[in-house]
Amino acid sequence: MKRSLLTTTIVAAFALGGSAVVALAGPLMDRIAAGETIRIGFANEVPFAYPGEDGSPKGFVNAEVLGVLKAMGYDNIEPVQTDWGGLIPGLQAGRFDIITGGMNILKSRCENVAFSEPMARIGDAFIVAKGNPKGLNTYADIKDKGAVMVTGAGYSNIEAAKAAGVAEGDIMQVPGPTEILAAVKARRADAGAGTYFTVKQLADSTGGELDVSDPDAMPEDAINWAGIGFRKEDQDFLDKFNAAQKDYLGTPEMMDAVKEYGYGEASLPGDKTTEWVCANR
């Protein structure tokens, strides 16, 4: 029997000790049946997903998701922007229905998010001083040279750095790309960590003041796969999304929609499955 939104809200609030009333959306298919919007959540992460000047969803992940949803017959879409650190909590709290922010699939995230099959293969890199004078190309370099690394709060780069032995005190966490760039430019950090997509865009914005580290120097375990995030109770919708994405991914239509954001053939995810990535990342 389908529970009403009010019942769901009361049960959720009781589970949290009754300390607050939590507004939770019903399952995504119920929202669609009721004629409500599909709310896509993302942060300001160029070129993955970000708001245009008019608030419209931009970036290659948004372009891919909108293409898949269109193929499924859905075009009643509402963009919801939030901070990166608010993406998973926002999904769980029902503030939006799908995370389109370009989130790497990680074992720790798989505990709380149901990810689609991968839609992109993504390597890490650093934004560094011009010429990379300290030779910072890997997380091991950060550790061995006692360098300070800055990255976004909640980014997968934090886990990668800690796995390589970088001390927590040498990892500066900031809200997002703008602050990463500012920290490196001000020399408060020696390297700004992110995906190659992100740091290349940041370096290009400095007119040659900063450079990007060599992404090919990163070890294989620094390669990640991005997926689209759903609430676990929306597995029925996710199954349909995966089927549609399989038919759409890599098509001329899809590649044309994402090319302006730097996504090319090399960015396609290959044969790795979400099950494998959840177990190995």
pLDDT in tens, 112-149: 999 999 999 999 999 999 999 999 999 999 999 999 99
pLDDT higher than threshold 90 for residue 17: no
Question: For position 27, what pLDDT does the model report?
Answer: 86
* Stretch 151-162: mean pLDDT: 95
Q: To the nearest whole number, what is the mean pLDDT of the chain?
A: 91
Query: Does the pLDDT at position 277 exceed 90?
Result: yes
CATH of the domain at 13: 3.40.190.10
Q: What is the pLDDT of residue 19?
A: 38
In the numeric block, the tokens 């790309």 are attached to 177
Q: Which two tokens stand for residue 103?
A: 């989130």
Q: Is pLDDT above 70 for 8?
A: no
List, in order, residues 6 or more apart from 192 with CB less than 8 Å away. 126, 127, 128, 149, 150, 151, 180, 181, 183, 184, 199, 202
What confidence score (pLDDT) does residue 85 get? 92
* Distance from C-alpha of 24 to C-alpha of 4, rounded to nearest angstrom: 11
Q: Hey, which residues does 49 pair with through a beta bridge? A: 45
- Residue 221 banded pLDDT, cuts 50, 70, 90: confident
pLDDT higher than 90, residue 217: yes
Name the least confident of 21-30, 55-64, 112-121, 208-217.
21-30
State whether 27 and 117 are in the same domain: yes
Q: Which residues contact 241 (CB under 8 A, 6 or more apart)?
A: 68, 69, 72, 116, 228, 230
Could you tell me the residue range of the domain that residue 212 belongs to?
Answer: 124-222
Reported pTM = 0.82
pLDDT at 274 over 70: yes
Q: What is the pLDDT of residue 212?
A: 97
- 216 and 230 inside one domain: no
Is the domain of 160 the same as that of 247?
no
Last-in-domain residue among 177, 204, 222: 222
- Pair 258, 214 in one domain: no
Tokens of 270: 């290959």
Burial status of residue 271 (CB atoms within 10 A of its CB: 0-12, 13-18, 19 or more): exposed
Indicate the number of domains in the chain. 2
Q: Rounded to whole angstroms, how far apart are CA atoms 196 and 126? A: 8
Residues 63, 177: one domain? no
Report the distance separating Cα 219 and Cα 140, nearest Å. Answer: 10
Same domain, 166 and 31: no
The predicted structure's pLDDT at residue 26? 53
Same-domain pairing of 216 and 233: no
pLDDT at res. 10 = 33
Q: Are residues 10 and 115 in the same domain?
A: yes
Task: Give yes or no for residue 14 having a pLDDT over 50.
Answer: no
Last residue of a domain, one of 222, 238, 257: 222
Do 117 and 128 lie in a common domain?
Answer: no
Tens digit of pLDDT for each residue in 92-109? 999 999 999 999 999 999
| Domain stop point among 196, 222, 248 | 222
Residues 107 and 234 placed together within one structural domain of the fold = yes
Q: Are residues 154 and 29 in the same domain?
A: no
Determine the angle formed by the axes of helices 177-185 and 196-204, rounding to 10 degrees: 60
Q: Tell me: pLDDT of 21 over 90.
A: no
| Residue 255, CA distances (Å) to 166, 191, 266 in order | 37, 32, 11
245-260: average pLDDT = 98
User: What is the SS3 assignment for 30?
Assistant: helix
Residue 84's CB is within 10 A of a number of other CB atoms, namely 20
Q: Are residues 23 and 107 in the same domain?
A: yes
Kindly state the tokens that stand for 187: 């020399």
User: What is the DSSP pairing of strand 98-104 with strand 50-51?
Assistant: unpaired
The DSSP result for 201-258, as a single string, is: HHHHTTTTSEEE--GGGS-GGG-EEEEEEE-GGGHHHHHHHHHHHHHHTT-HHHHHHH
